[in-house]
């Protein structure tokens, strides 16, 4: 398996991940989560409540690491006070989707956590149903208090495909230990559904109360999404909740980017091999690749054993390839190491240069002999 993805192309490079889920990427782009307040913040997340009631700031995530969190703090009674509804995300109504977000309340339990979604069809018409087929134009997964204050909970909701016939509740409120404390209602799409948006906010909170939000996701259910266990404990696997600062499992991030200090990373493969820090089973596009390796200027040293052209010819006749260059069969089996191959190609170019210089010297000697011969006539 390793040779197969080596053959298809392995390079070392720099990459950015929005949500560390290599099988499937979070459908919500969190790269815009930076500190501050704002009317809409960005093209994806639109605030619920007043601008001053919505703040993104560094705080402790559910795993005790510093990360960017979204705080909603009421400045008046009643209504929505902090949180968001996202831009519409295109969906396939025949497929099922899972929405999640981490939420924590502080101060008091006077307000409710409203975790919901919207589904739209043509003409911005609502297109969601309860599992029994009843139309539900304003669906809520959760519309109540969290179990306790000052504690992070993972809220999980499911919207199933239009052909779904199940009747069981599969969503829930989870604590960080992985216990499902509350069951949440599931929903499904109509056949006219085209887009989905994620919603979470604090409703009817009181002054002095805050609701914190972290790591929202939307994933299609296709066996490539991170499991609930991996969202609850990113150290258990190669995936975890989307991070915008701080650490999640083995990954760390700061203002300079995302980094992974130990182990190997596979993209498109679960087996990067022990020798490869980054293994990619597929194509890679880049504007520049820098490979740090040795170079071939040893060819120009006086004691370099430059093969004669006869020796080169004999090697080609016997082996079918140049001296020191791997055969087609070897490349098919082992792939090509870019740094080493560039060095070997330069070695051949420098050897050709020496052959040309030697031939030039021979031609000059022959020309001098010919001139002397003509002058002696």
95-137 pLDDT, tens digit per residue, is: 999 999 999 999 998 889 999 999 999 988 899 999 999 999 8
Query: Is residue 369 pLDDT above 60, yes or no?
Result: yes
Instruction: Tell me what the mean pLDDT of segment 65-77 comes to.
Output: 90
Distance set, CA 143 to CA 81, 148, 151, 232 (Å): 14, 15, 17, 22
pLDDT digits (tens, 9 = 90+) for 18-48: 334 345 789 998 888 888 876 666 788 999 9
> Which pLDDT value is given to residue 4?
41
> Which pLDDT value is given to residue 286?
87
What's this model's pTM, rounded to 2 decimal places? Answer: 0.60
Instruction: Tell me what the mean pLDDT of segment 58-85 comes to.
Output: 90
> Which pLDDT value is given to residue 257?
63
pLDDT digits (tens, 9 = 90+) for 314-356: 999 999 999 999 999 999 998 888 888 999 999 999 999 999 9
pLDDT digits (tens, 9 = 90+) for 187-209: 999 999 999 999 999 998 788 89
Torsion sign over Cα 177, 183, 184, 189 = positive
Rounded CA gap, 36 and 186, in Å? 34
> Which pLDDT value is given to residue 235?
59
3-class SS string, 302-318: CCCCCCCHHHHHHHHHH
For the domain 2-280, what is the CATH code?
2.60.120.260
360: confidence class by pLDDT, cuts 50, 70, 90: very high
Interior angle at CA 214, CA 210 and CA 218, nearest 5? 130
- What is the β-pairing status of strands 112-120 and 153-160? unpaired
What tokens does 205 get? Answer: 């909170």
Rounded CA gap, 40 and 54, in Å? 10
What tokens does 65 get? Answer: 């690491």
Rounded CA gap, 7 and 333, in Å? 7
3-state SS, residue 78: coil
b/e 2-14 (16+ beta carbons within 10 angstroms → b): beebbeeebebee
Q: Which residue bears the tokens 């995530």?
A: 61
Query: Is residue 371 pLDDT above 60, yes or no?
Result: yes
221: confidence class by pLDDT, cuts 50, 70, 90: very high
> Nearest-CA neighbor of 210 among 59, 42, 355?
59
> Which pLDDT value is given to residue 278?
87
> Which pLDDT value is given to residue 136?
92
> Nearest-CA neighbor of 152 among 216, 212, 66?
212
What tokens does 286 get? Answer: 């880049």
Mean pLDDT (the chain) is 85
What tokens does 311 get? Answer: 């020796």
Query: Is residue 256 pLDDT above 90, yes or no?
Result: no
Instruction: Tell me what the mean pLDDT of segment 72-82 comes to.
Output: 86
239: confidence class by pLDDT, cuts 50, 70, 90: very low
pLDDT digits (tens, 9 = 90+) for 153-170: 999 999 999 999 999 999
Instruction: Tell me what the mean pLDDT of segment 81-103 comes to.
Output: 95
What tokens does 223 get? Answer: 């066996």
Domain ranges in the chain are 2-280, 297-375
Please measure the distance between the N-terminal and C-terminal CA atoms of the chain and give it in whole angstroms. Answer: 74
How far is C-alpha 23 from the chain's CA centre? 9
Higher model confidence: residue 78 or residue 64? Answer: 64
């Amino acid at each position: 398996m390793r040779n197969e993805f080596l053959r298809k192309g392995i390079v070392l490079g720099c990459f950015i991940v929005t949500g560390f889920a290599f099988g499937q990427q979070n459908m919500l782009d969190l790269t815009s989560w930076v500190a501050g307040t704002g009317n809409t913040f960005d093209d994806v997340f639109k605030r619920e409540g007043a601008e001053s009631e919505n703040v993104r700031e560094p705080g402790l995530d559910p795993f005790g690491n510093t990360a960017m969190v979204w705080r909603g703090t009421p400045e008046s009674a009643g209504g929505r006070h902090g949180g968001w509804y996202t831009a519409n995300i295109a969906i396939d109504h025949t497929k099922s989707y899972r929405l999640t977000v981490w939420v924590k309340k502080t101060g008091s339990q006077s307000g409710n956590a409203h975790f919901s979604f919207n589904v739209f069809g043509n003409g911005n018409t609502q297109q969601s149903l309860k599992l029994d087929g009843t139309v539900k134009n304003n669906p809520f997964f959760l519309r109540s208090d969290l179990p306790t204050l000052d504690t992070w909970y993972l809220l999980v909701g499911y919207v199933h495909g239009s052909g779904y016939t199940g009747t069981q509740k599969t969503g829930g409120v989870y604590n960080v230990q992985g216990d499902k404390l509350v069951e949440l209602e599931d929903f499904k799409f109509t056949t006219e559904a085209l887009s989905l948006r994620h919603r979470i906010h604090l409703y009817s909170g009181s002054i002095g109360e805050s609701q914190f939000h972290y790591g929202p996701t939307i994933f299609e259910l296709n066996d490539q999404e991170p499991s609930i266990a991996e969202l609850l404990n990113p150290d258990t696997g190669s995936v975890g909740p989307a991070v915008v600062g701080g650490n999640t499992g083995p990954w760390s991030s700061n203002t300079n980017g995302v980094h992974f200090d130990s182990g190997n990373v596979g993209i498109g493969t679960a087996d990067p091999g022990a020798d490869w820090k980054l293994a990619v089973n597929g194509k890679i596009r880049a504007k520049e690749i820098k490979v740090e390796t040795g170079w071939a200027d040893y060819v120009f040293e006086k004691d370099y054993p430059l093969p004669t052209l006869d020796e080169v010819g004999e090697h080609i006749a016997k082996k079918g390839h140049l001296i020191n260059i791997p055969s087609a069969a070897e490349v098919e089996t082992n792939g090509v190491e870019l740094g080493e191959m560039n060095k070997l190609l330069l070695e051949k170019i420098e050897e050709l240069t020496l052959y040309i210089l030697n031939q030039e010297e021979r031609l000059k000697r022959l020309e001098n002999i010919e001139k002397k011969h003509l002058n002696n006539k």
